[in-house]
Structure 1
Amino acid sequence: MTTPQDELLPGTRRALLHRIAVAQAEGRAPSLVAAVVRDGRAVWHGARTSVDGHGPDRNVQYRIGSITKTFTAVLVMRLRDEGALDLGDPLEKHLPCTGTGEATIAQLLAHTGGLAAESPGPWWERTPGALRPELADVLGDQPFLHPAGRRFHYSNPGYSLLGALVEQLRGVPWDEALRREVLEPLGLDRTTTRPQHPHAGGWAVHPWADVMLPEPTEDFGRMAAAGQLWSTAGDLARFAAFLAHGDDRVLSAETLREMRTPAAPAEETDLRDGSAYGLGLRVEARSGRLLVGHSGSVPGFLASLTLSVDDDVAAVVLSNCTSGPMVSQVAADLVCIVAEAEPRFPAPWRPLREVDRTVLELAGQWYWGTSPFALRLTADGLLSLGPLSGGGRRSGFRANGDGSWTGLEGYFAGEVLRAVRRPDGTVDHLDLGSFVFTRQPYDNGADVPGGVDTGGWRGIG
């Protein structure tokens, strides 16, 4: 059974429109525009506005603030995939004399470099970038607040440094590298560093009166890589599809999975709200779903991009006010509305085309000590190992081509699984990072560490 993948049911569309209508009204936003993506395609667009007859469409630009950081992270990961840098490199290796010491590229991407949250001096988002012409002006005399690598501390200057890194290794300005390597290949022709008509104006809404004040629109200069971009609901919908599926012209799906993996130690507050940070992407648990994306906030604008990889549903929400609607919550709600009202159909089960009998003989029940596990050979060619019941350590394993497999997630990520055979070729046990799995609990015919009591299993008497 199939359903059209480019349509939503009328009830779903009404629920989406109702959600953004409530957000715009209760958040007192001059305008709010949203889009939903499913299976890599935009399937819904909605808008609400305070001006009759002037509702923004998916082509109207809004400033997206820190969603810019995800674009910058994509550029850095491209450099890593090309071999131009290693994420473990100290930034100083490529940008000497910045005063960042041993802070690594990965730490800057994950906001664990120890840098301050903001640039010193006047509020950088409301003042000209010309006030901070050099990286030294962005960092100030005391750029570090914490030891590198010890804790998550969101840092706008850290992403300014990553933009400078891109410029150093590409030999062109950050925005030029972004245009050539990301925006043009993905068809994001309405994503720019300066506003282009049609675009929304940025407003501050008085907290105690229904009146507004225009916000200044500054060029951030050296801080551009942290929050400069303008974009549209249509462009960000396409970008969300890329973040979910990858595009080999820009980044592979495997690298994007790496970006979505938590890379920063969780703070106490993060543990309470179920959130973490990867490499240029926020990761959080909401309503039983793992959501990935980024939010943005600059004077006059709020933005959020959120996706559920498991549901293959994403949402974008843009508004033109300094504070008001909780756009991150709205975007998460839009994802959940679609995922719950129209749950994804699983792909049809299909068997393997070919099977290696030496691998097939490993399938079935194994025991780690007395704990029963199941090892399955799946249609995607992976091995899956996990406890037969309840929680516990589980992982998929990818073949290495030499008869061994490497764990892909959880406790066993990176650990190597091997079948240890007897001289006659039969399997004695499985070895997984020194853990021994046998066909029977504490099998006395297998090489169990510490040996097995020769008296065998017995009662209490």
Structure 2
Amino acid sequence: MTSPAEQLLPSTQRSLLHRIATAQAEGRSPSMTAAVQRQRRVVWDGSRTCVDGHAPDADTQFRIGSLTKTFTAVLVLRLRDEGLLDLADPLEKHVPGTSAGDVTIHQLLGHSAGLGAESPAPWWERTPGSLRPGLVDVLGDQSRMHPPGRRHHYSNPGYTLLGALVEAVRGVSWAEMLRSEILEPLGMHRTSPQAQAPHAGGWAVHPWADVLLPEPVEDLGLMAPAGQLWSTTADLLRFAAFLAEGDDRVLSAASVAEMREPAAPPEPGDWGGYYGLGLQVIRRKGRTLIGHTGSLPGFLAALWFSVEDDVAAVAFANVTSGVLIGEVAAELVEIVAESEPRIPEPWRPLPEVDAELLALTGPWYWGTRANILRLTPGRGLELQTLNGKGRGTRFTACADGTWIGLDGYYAGEILRVVRNDDGSVNHLDLGSFVFTREPYDPSAAVPGGVDADGWRGLGS
């Protein structure tokens, strides 16, 4: 339960309930449940059902399908951070003997390995994993659809290979590593490979009549790392909080942020989002949403969070199709973010200031382009164009007195202060670009020199 101080406005709560009620009715799902988190606190949960008195709640498990892939990606990155593998490693280095041994771990994580989208028939989501006892049965004879690294092509067998990878490197099963290294540290005690009561049943609804058919629930075997898990809205909101800011018990903030970076060019025409390392990223109404969607016969699931708004939403339905679950979860985030915008933290001055750094702030010119350098916490710097358009980057301080770019055009580039013999600043060097205090300052080391006659008018 949320405390009164944490609750949303009644009008916002009604809008959220209306959205899932509409989705349940129009999508003809036997039930739906959803929850919203703001500033890492659950502020709303709700459900709708066709059976009076049997509405699911925040503790009811639903199958989450491909949301499982995000968990598998976290396991791989844990191994990378421990130095046990490199994302540039070919799969063959750790899992020999497959037809995909030359593809890299990074390509598998970002679905750019060129592998097929599905395993060979029969349909793996509706048949027992025992029909695919080995990786050769998962990959089949036609495993390559595209040259590795060229484009994004979603691949369930690719994440099966990643499951085999973590087992080979860690020496325990995928399920055991998941439990001990993600679920237990994050307190996700209602997330599991097999259903645990209370849980929803999965249903198919006839496209032209309001009648139901139960969907089979299969153990996916080797395909489990691609879509096996069951979870609850409460557990997935805990996972959303982790994905937003990291948790050193599981994965650092820097590695979690790396998961959001584009892993491969998007498919042609799909410029509204991209895939990172086990995470989907979409742009809607000027807002960036990060998360994943999932489906298995009888179940639909989605998790989205907005870092800027500090709002996350999870939505589940126990129907094979009919509900645009990703749209529903995204709209729940938008309802809260737009109805009750995040109140910014109070401005506070820096706890201390370095006079030498303070002297670097203010205007700097790259040729004739005016830029502003600002001081940020932790001896960081931020460079922006004066008009706010064009190249801008945040920099973090390095131990050797330089700064490294964190984002934008200059991400990874080194910023250095170049001084005169007397210690005064001559210019800033940013990846070989010279920034001076005046446009083409004649006293600075401007490449190509500065005309001795200086600036002039048209008639000069």
Whether the 8 Å CA contact 2:20–2:34 is kept in 1: the answer is: yes
| Partner residue in 1 for 2:174 | 174
| Partner residue in 2 for 1:141 | 141
Counterpart AA for 1:37: Q
Counterpart AA for 2:86: D
Shift of 1:247: 1.3
Of 98-107 and 293-302, the range deviating more from structure 2 = 98-107
Whether the 8 Å CA contact 1:5–1:38 is kept in 2: the answer is: no
How far, CA to CA, are the matches of 2:141 and 2:323 in structure 1?
36
- The reply on whether 1:208 has 2:208 as its aligned counterpart is yes
Shift of 1:360: 1.4
How far, CA to CA, are the matches of 1:384 and 1:129 in structure 2?
52
Shift of 1:85: 0.7
Shift of 1:185: 0.9
How far, CA to CA, are the matches of 1:201 and 1:426 in structure 2?
72
How far, CA to CA, are the matches of 1:212 and 1:168 in structure 2?
42
Of 99-108 and 366-375, the range deviating more from structure 2 = 99-108
Percent identity of equivalent pairs: 67
Equivalent in 396, 399, 402 of residue 398 of structure 1: 396
How far, CA to CA, are the matches of 2:104 and 2:112 in structure 1?
9
Equivalent position SS for 2:6: coil
How far, CA to CA, are the matches of 2:174 and 2:104 in structure 1?
19
- The reply on whether 1:92 has 2:127 as its aligned counterpart is no
Equivalent position SS for 2:313: strand
How far, CA to CA, are the matches of 2:173 and 2:160 in structure 1?
12
Whether the 8 Å CA contact 1:193–1:229 is kept in 2: the answer is: yes
| Partner residue in 2 for 1:249 | 249
Deviations 1:356-408 (A, max 9, x none): 22211110000111110000002343200010114211110000011100000
How far, CA to CA, are the matches of 1:401 and 1:157 in structure 2?
43
Equivalent in 355, 359, 362 of residue 357 of structure 2: 359
Equivalent position SS for 2:384: strand
Equivalent position SS for 2:294: strand
| Partner residue in 1 for 2:300 | 302
Counterpart AA for 1:88: A
Equivalent position SS for 2:22: helix
How far, CA to CA, are the matches of 1:106 and 1:19 in structure 2?
37
Deviations 1:85-107 (A, max 9, x none): 11111111111111213311111
TM-score in terms of structure 2 length: 0.98
Equivalent position SS for 1:168: helix
| Partner residue in 1 for 2:258 | 258
How far, CA to CA, are the matches of 2:344 and 2:373 in structure 1?
22
RMSD: 1.2
| Partner residue in 1 for 2:313 | 315
Whether the 8 Å CA contact 2:95–2:101 is kept in 1: the answer is: no
| Partner residue in 1 for 2:190 | 190
| Partner residue in 1 for 2:68 | 68
Whether the 8 Å CA contact 1:108–1:158 is kept in 2: the answer is: yes
Whether the 8 Å CA contact 2:153–2:267 is kept in 1: the answer is: no
How far, CA to CA, are the matches of 1:391 and 1:120 in structure 2?
50
Shift of 1:10: 1.0
| Within-5 A mapping of 1:281-360 | 281-360=279-358
Deviations 1:311-367 (A, max 9, x none): 110000000000011110111100011111111111222222222222111100001
Equivalent position SS for 2:130: helix
| Within-5 A mapping of 1:95-174 | 95-174=95-174
Equivalent position SS for 1:66: helix
Whether the 8 Å CA contact 1:303–1:327 is kept in 2: the answer is: yes
Alignment: residue pair count: 457
Equivalent position SS for 1:46: strand
Whether the 8 Å CA contact 2:415–2:428 is kept in 1: the answer is: yes
Whether the 8 Å CA contact 1:119–1:156 is kept in 2: the answer is: yes
How far, CA to CA, are the matches of 2:260 and 2:122 in structure 1?
33
Whether the 8 Å CA contact 2:166–2:174 is kept in 1: the answer is: yes
| Partner residue in 1 for 2:441 | 443
Deviations 1:187-209 (A, max 9, x none): 11111111111111111111111
Whether the 8 Å CA contact 1:59–1:233 is kept in 2: the answer is: yes
Whether the 8 Å CA contact 2:125–2:220 is kept in 1: the answer is: yes
Distance 1:4 1:402, change over 3 A: farther
How far, CA to CA, are the matches of 1:381 and 1:16 in structure 2?
42
Equivalent position SS for 2:379: coil
| Within-5 A mapping of 1:5-44 | 6-44=6-44
Counterpart AA for 2:150: R
Deviations 1:414-443 (A, max 9, x none): 000001111111111111001111111111
Distance 1:77 1:5, change over 3 A: farther
Shift of 1:250: 0.7
Counterpart AA for 1:237: L
Counterpart AA for 2:37: V
Equivalent position SS for 2:304: strand
Shift of 1:168: 0.6
Equivalent position SS for 1:269: coil
Of 279-288 and 351-360, the range deviating more from structure 2 = 351-360
| Partner residue in 1 for 2:55 | 55
Equivalent position SS for 1:207: coil
Counterpart AA for 1:428: N
Shift of 1:282: 0.3
Deviations 1:434-454 (A, max 9, x none): 111111111111111111122
Equivalent position SS for 1:367: strand
- The reply on whether 1:417 has 2:415 as its aligned counterpart is yes
How far, CA to CA, are the matches of 1:99 and 1:122 in structure 2?
20
Of 433-442 and 100-109, the range deviating more from structure 2 = 100-109
Whether the 8 Å CA contact 1:41–1:241 is kept in 2: the answer is: no
Whether the 8 Å CA contact 2:30–2:318 is kept in 1: the answer is: yes
How far, CA to CA, are the matches of 1:288 and 1:232 in structure 2?
29
TM-score in terms of structure 1 length: 0.97
Distance 1:309 1:405, change over 3 A: same
